[in-house]
Amino acid sequence: MRIVFAGTPDFAVPCLRAAAARGEVVAVYTQPDRPAGRGRGLAPTPVKQAAQELGIEVRQPENFRGKEAKAALRELEPDLMVVVAYGLILPQSVLDIPTHGCWNVHASLLPRWRGAAPIQRAIQAGDAETGVCLMQMEKGLDTGPVLLRQSLAIGEHETGGQLHDRLSELGAQVLADGLGLLRAGIRPAPQPQPEDGVTYAHKLDKAEAKLDWSRPARELTNTVRAFTPWPVAECRLAGERLRLHGAVAIDESHGAVPGTLLHAGRNGLDVACGEGVLRIRVLQRDGGKVITAADYLNARQDLKVAG
């Protein structure tokens, strides 16, 4: 089975390895190298690095709008194209080239959380579970019929980064199952997505990272979890900007103005919210390292008298 793989970030790498283990990956498409790091030198994508390790040809077109890119793909005579967080919208003329079309590995239980940031939006919304769908691609944004799906529970304190890693591995497993069926001559039955329950996972914006203390503490702790490790939730507290890497919600009533520091001790910094209290446990000062609240208080002795 001749497979073309298209993907870009770390999330897609386990899927690439799964595809390479179960078929002949004749080429890998990935985003062009971009400037990165302090020196702003061109850096290969994680998928490009993995493809080179596997000895697979890498292609990096800017898009598929021209005839040349489509012709080059057609010359590969692919049976299937697997797309995982590629970062380019594929026109119908491309989706039609492989014999079996294009499969996409999407990190949500569709139709919930179509779009760019399904992992973080699921945590932010307080979802108890999420999962992976193997989808037959069509022109619409994540609207295609689902071939296979598998769910998993979201941990109470799980961050966006931790869930990303688990879903990446689960995606590779689901893709491997699908490829195994196809190689055996069994095409997974496509199940149209229901009309009800559609939500969209809009791309993360750094402006969203600023916490609004008038919101409920549970909502804020979900944001802290979802935005770790990027873009990282932040707030103004005790006269400075703090980036929050770990916090929990405390169901505790208070009569204080939201944003008031209620208590500062070894267990953390307790801040009044619109409902309940947010206990900050891990944080980062401007230009500083990620530290515990206890370490922070060692440098801010003035705060220990609060509460």
**Neighbour tally for 214: CB within 10 Å:** 13
Dist. CA 250–CA 237, nearest whole Å: 18
| Residue 80 marked ligand-binding | no
| Residue 108 marked ligand-binding | yes
**Neighbour tally for 261: CB within 10 Å:** 16
Dist. CA 231–CA 227, nearest whole Å: 5
DSSP 224-272: HHHTTTTT-EEEEETTEEEEEEEEEEE-----SPTT-EEEEETTEEEEE
| Residue 147 marked ligand-binding | no
Task: Pinpoint the alpha helices (H) of 56-134.
Answer: 67-75, 92-95, 118-124
Q: Check residue 85 and report its DSSP letter.
A: S
**Neighbour tally for 60: CB within 10 Å:** 14
| Residue 216 marked ligand-binding | no
Give the angle subtended at the CA of 76 by the CAs of 33 and 48, to the nearest 5°: 20
Dist. CA 2–CA 81, nearest whole Å: 9
| Whole-number Cα distances in Å, 112 to 49, 119, 129, 194 | 32, 11, 11, 10
Binding residues for (6S)-5,6,7,8-tetrahydrofolate: 108-111
Binding residues: 108-111
